[in-house]
Structure 1
């Protein structure tokens, strides 16, 4: 017998929420690493916890390189006329996130550990 369907909602207890966040972040990193190895995929993810602490992972190259590749892809779609409205939003969001990552990585170089 399997577990029943679990209703997803925010965990009220702050300590339990932080423990769950930490475990799930580790699991997400493991799954990202596995998919990058098994499928030879380049991927990156960026996570900000509730206090604003940055955690990120990239499979082959830096997060910035993957974001730049994404941006080039979206821009190529725009030029070729294949852009939908949501892709334009992704491009804008990508630019915003890239600048935030750059700023946070500059701060991280001065003693903050991300993992």
Structure 2
């Protein structure tokens, strides 16, 4: 027998919500550990509960190592996005200029 579908919505009862949070947080931590071991992946897991308490897991000796790597990657991706956007603009400008040149050359033919 399989499990039934669980409707995803906030649990109204505060005690049930806290119990579910604790169980699911433990399950997520276990999965994060498993993927780090099985796949040799660097994993960082950060959760804040509704009162602001921090729960974390890191497959590295320090969470800081993974967060620094993430920041470098995010910064590089942001730079790549900006470069792609500027290249797209340059391509559009080039296309417009080519069209203007063609129009001007046609006009020159009619003049002479």
TM-score range, shorter chain: 0.5 to 0.7
**Which structure 1 residue ranges, 4+ long, deviate > 6 Å from structure 2?**
none
| 2:19 paired with 1:10 | no
Structure 1 SS opposite 2:4: coil
Q: Which runs of 5+ in 1 are unaligned?
A: 85-115
Relative to the length of structure 2, the TM-score reads 0.66
Structure 2 SS opposite 1:73: helix
Q: Which runs of 5+ in 2 are unaligned?
A: 85-112
Aligned residue pairs, count:
84
Q: Find the aligned partners of 2:52 and 2:83 in 1 and give their Cα distance.
A: 32
Residue in 2 that maps onto 1:51: 51
Q: Find the aligned partners of 1:59 and 1:83 in 2 and give their Cα distance.
A: 33
Residue in 1 that maps onto 2:22: 22
The CA deviation at 1:76 is 2.5
Q: Is the 8 A contact 1:32 1:43 kept in 2?
A: yes
Q: Find the aligned partners of 2:77 and 2:58 in 1 and give their Cα distance.
A: 24
Residue in 2 that maps onto 1:66: 66
Relative to the length of structure 1, the TM-score reads 0.65
More helix by share: 2
Q: More relative contact order in 1 or in 2 (CA 8 Å, sep 6+)? A: 1
- The two structures, once aligned, show a CA RMSD in angstroms of 2.0
